[in-house]
Chains A and B, each alone.
Chain A
């Protein structure tokens, strides 16, 4: 399962702090929508929820940073970038390799009928 493309709808059962936690675990770029209406795009690599003023840290899409944004400045986070962890499991690779083997065998006419 991937969160790629998700635009969270914050509610009582989905808080901003929870979305920030999910964005911190997400292996892709996100778009941080700020309270002032501006947006910051990039990779969130850190969050500190128990600091006196909770914050996130990110590198923007050009790799500049770290950029620090306070929780209080964030309205929402959109999961806009590609999930780099998706489909890269060992199982996926084994399945791909099996598929390739079967295709090769079929091409050579040695595969199962």
Chain B
């Protein structure tokens, strides 16, 4: 060590310049399973109708699949490897997946709508089968036998005693084979070959649990997240957001950070950031820079008027999504009408760390390292920010600090691009905690009005729900257009808001039914900390909380058990099987009124809810304990029945369901974005609490229903949807008190319980 420079900072620099060891390489990001690529022959262009765009086999027989999707932690990589290995008859250990690098994968939409297996997996299944077909054709020609006389095992093709490995069939070349492509890119991209994939009865790899073998780098601290990307000469950036939403900087006092010698200010209209050589100096500069802001009117109404504001605000758009029979006529002949209103708050992605991105511009090309779920679209946004042609911009996805939709990653990518362009050096930007919570795009707040008409036999003859809220998409679900980034909005680009919400999709067979949504205008139309974008299962928890809570309220009015009452209004056997599976597993006992099982100050109860979405059917039973003295709700146990068609990896699926349920319980019990007249006030984990270990369930008991004959559905989001209603129904069962506003925080539960005590105590 004696000749090493004293400062580790310098020594690292030297290392960077010398060997480039710390410089990010694609291989490091793709994990240990990245295989060396074919070295010779002409690789066909990266287009969706070329087989080589999706599957490569090298001389050693190592298989690489190229996927335009992301594994945000659920083990999608492994599921895709299983699918490809299965169709190719290759050993699972020899199959690797490269994801989300725009130079190496086509745009399959990124992580979107639980589509990793449903969309990308099915494309890869077809293409892997096609690759196998082509390999067998080559083997048949080599051995001068018919394809039907060949057998394949572990990537070796045999004809009697003669055999040849896939690696030798491919040699140094490529497949150079065309696929049938539907002309779409993104989630709807379909490319397929002529081969017919295997029938499920032939499966040896798909449908069986395979262990995650990619976790070792994470547990020893080697794994490279987007936050760990380092580029030579890189500066650290921090953004500065206005204290009053909508304000723009009118002047900045450069002298206020003159003591931070490397710090520089980047300002363009409302866009304000700082860069510095050291990360700590960038943070200090962002805190110490004196900024004067424009005076703007306080943009937000008092927080406690939020839901009345939503209910009263004029529609921007209203759409009846589902209409059956004659609802008005049925209500007019109802024996009884049940009505209720439910409220769901704004929620934050609140990722484990604020978003980060790195942009490097070099020799007329740019690279962005981003944790976005949509790197192909991020490349478009970065190209626009840099005013460069798209083919000069490469986006490389690296896992971010959590990813549950369009979080703050897209904004970080665009911010980094503007900063890097302004200072002429690579820039890494990461938010601070208050930005991760306060300025990420939000899931929309909403109000749901539900009405049901019962006939004399207590059957539902009409059913009507209006889901009214802020649009789920003030900005798009990707950052391809600068208008949909915070930076673009701060620079005054015209807004391209898209009014959108959604309706319930559960399989109830009511004779008369109307499901509609309406959206209202955003509280602040540009650069708002409350601007909405997709958060895990967009609108799903909002809508299902309302309708599945309401179903229990109607069952109560009808004097019926909630599960039996649901089954009585269903005809679809596939759905009914899931409801029954949950009921059986949890040993559900019919109940026609709240049980209010009390011991000491604790009330225990159980509740049911069901949902359909993202290609899956979920039924869930929550067992809760409510502490009547503190209002704390402990979601003690969940029983989940989950059917998502064909299961690829049962143990991976179970883990994915668990994560959904815990996060959804957190959203239902704790999570609420709050604001005052000027700004978001839930800006850290103290003001935006989430579920912690003391409140974690004792058990999550999962029954998965496998339908190998069906295509696989999604699993990344579906089990999120019914959790809130199951909890609300369980709290009602425990206490006799109906909570119609989420989250069911201790304060709110306590207030509801004391309201109940007041209203039931003798006058």
| Physical interaction between A and B | no
The residues of A with any CB-CB pair to B shorter than 8 Å are none
